[in-house]
Structure 1
């Protein structure tokens, strides 16, 4: 050992020691300090003069004497360099001592390792946190591949709890990589990472695909442990499988597609074109591959239509329409749709384009546009508007012609619903609300009730007039059969109603003339008889006079009957409408006429269903109609026969049929049925049928006749069925 007491200028080594940042001290074989550099003085917080020449144990804290003496002594005895770490219990500082023995004594280098120790402790905590919180499954194994530690991700991946895994062989839960060394053989093996892709069976029996990396932990030249990192790639495997299948399908579609599919490089060079380019445009694949799209478009494009582009995140797509010239000269309309694809770095990697022949679609669109224009023009010419009401949203729309019919513009109303509320005549609002409820009530009812609904209402026209509108509405369904909207048409029938009123007045005058002529004819005959027999009566006596009186009384009775029926037509009694069961009314009349039927050898047979045939009607008026029709049928069979009376409910109507087996009515006479004083009976007036027709018309029904000579006559009476489910009164 050098003599550190010599002058510094004579010993360059000492000058170097004085400049060291680490502490350095030298002692002789008697453990006396012979040199301490400034750094050691600072670390020990004592001046060199206080320590030089003193035994080292006087400098070292007493509680460390035994530890330091053992290490120092062993280093000197064995002449071996050693390392010692010491923590100052008061200052919370760590120091590391490096001992180098020599023949003359011991040299000690030491430095403060507190920061390094704290970093190491932080690293351990960081490692533990990283291990436990890592999103992948992490495990630590010994050289026998026994699990020593696992994080929760690894446990969840296998379906076991950590306590069920630790201490067990890895192979119990997932296969150990083939050929990987274990036990003592691992201690001398080269430490290499191995990738492993096992399929495991979880605790619940389900399968999972894992991607595992096993790393050896090497100390010196030996493998002392393994770390494993596993990732569940089941979803990725499935995705890759689906992607592969998708790519295969897409390739197959591209090869067999009706449209032309192109792959373009980032600089718009055609890398691939599907074989359909030959069929669609007459070109071979080789004609386009390797060419710039600009040059291809220049060769084949005749004109360009509208473009549509959109930017979506890292990709963009768009559509362009071109008139394209086929290689053989035909002109086609083609729609080219493209999509640009970027990678994660934002670099354009490919453009996929699809070219589709839309010539037929363009033609269909043109025809549709022309059809729509014709439809609008036809509505304008016919004065017919239309409306739509979407049930889900409540949105309503009117056509331009509807606004014109109502005398308003779209700008005058926020929407059609507001317009409806403002322009309908106040007196018709309740009626319109009832029609709406009636139409909507069919949503959950019989689908057969989706037939059109016709109604009239009045509006306040934009000009200030009150006008009459005729509307037809119908429920429309979608492909699933659900009612989704109401569609209807409107027409201004104000002029028609005025003309109809004029015709009605004209018809009344005509009817009055017919009645006057009929009255004159029907009454003139009995009056002529009365006039003649009154002259004869002057000279008649006895039985002859009585017979003349009887004849005159008969003629008076006929005049009285004619006048009674005329009074029914002229001043009918006030109707009293209630809900009645028509089949019961018809049955009562049939029962009332059964005696007359028996006298005429006629059998009346009633056929009615189990359901009531409810009608809102005047009971007495309908009985009068049934009486007239059934009586006529009995009289049409003087030789007897079968008379059938049937009642049926058909959708929104009640149908009553009266069928006889008489001689029938010739076609030329059928057209005049219902005319005043026209009758097919010898002693009839023709007014009974006219009165019946008038009653049925007032009940918003209709009466029809079906007859031909030799097969009898059927009278069909249709009346509106009562819709609401309310109690009804039975006829008494």
Structure 2
């Protein structure tokens, strides 16, 4: 963020909050804190308070060390000392932060800079950071789970590059290809030097060689002239070479440069090119405005904004009531944020209107910053998502399969209607959210459930059938991933009663066996007797008077074969009556 110095700090206790740009105060991504030289919190933004508020109901007045992992205290102090020794520099640092009710910690990337008074004397520290826990977890997962490394690397948001000990390119991910507009088939196996300025300039190659030689993890910020991009490269050396995670920070650098060129950090709210931003005086007069606010005024009121004029002259009639309600709240020191529905040309349109109190260098209230953001696309998406969620819930609860979602602790996190009915019939009550899934009367033993669960948590999928108490069950267990598919968050357990299906299968098998037997008798037994009878009839029809005795013998044989044929027909009829040819679905 650069050095923050100003004539705003004169006498007495400074108001630390005025040195924090409003877009940082209201950021949903960046943490921002200000401490005095004793390391005591003097200001934290809403993002920081929301994430780390569990450290205390009021962080202000506490030592900033309470929000840092004990093992990182020393590096944090060294970073502060470096800032004080070089007040003109911004010092980056990687810090671990505590996480509520968890043994693990969160990783965060910070930039420390020095606050100077009008005499260029340090009086505090300004720190801006963001959470990089997901990237760190992805890194560690890639190192620990070799079998899943390709999937993980393709899913992370950073570009991935693995260089060998001779700086040859061994592996990249899709993000790297997109970042540098290269195809992995064209560069894998080549040395970094061969790619030249397309990826590696001479300065970057020299740094990578030094990291490999010193075997020390490093974070590099570099400008790549060919692609005209700023990148932040986290480099992990090993015996196999260098593992690099590359993030495009061009937009962040652009914003930082813009902020560093600004003479007054409070003007950042008016430099937005997306939202309408106005600074309104205590009496409702316009003190400042940005280009978008002026364009909106031209479209809605047909006139340009003018400094010193009353803001009420430029607001739509249907928004005056909301302004009269919320403007006094901001004058009282409160931050107000409301969603407003307006009708433009008869069509509904959503805006987010925010009011922030603004104070001068002495801490006195000088007015209110008013921010108007177009959130119509977001609201329409939210409504569509809500409708889609309702449809998904209806499908989820209408299936006949019992469906459970189990977390990593084997607790039930959700279940559908069929699952509730099944537990009610088996246990006499429905299982509640948070209960151990091992308490459910499974068709398989608890030991089997635990064994399958452990494998499913590691990424395996199981589908098998089991019989218990004369009932057949089809069981499906598979891992459930988070929205980014970077981490398994639990297991899906689907149970379906297939007893009737199995009974129908058995019936069909029995029918098939009887039909095979009937077919054999028809194709072999009947043909044999019929053939014999036909042959004997032919002999009888062609006999001579001299062979009367033979004719009688033939007739006797015909009668015998006819009885055999009749017996076989009775047997076929009996088999057919035993075969149940019906199929019940």
Q: Output the TM-score relative to the length of structure 2.
A: 0.39
Task: Find the structure with the greater CA-based Rg.
Answer: 1
TM-score (norm 1): 0.32
- Higher relative contact order (CA closer than 8 Å, sequence separation 6+): 2
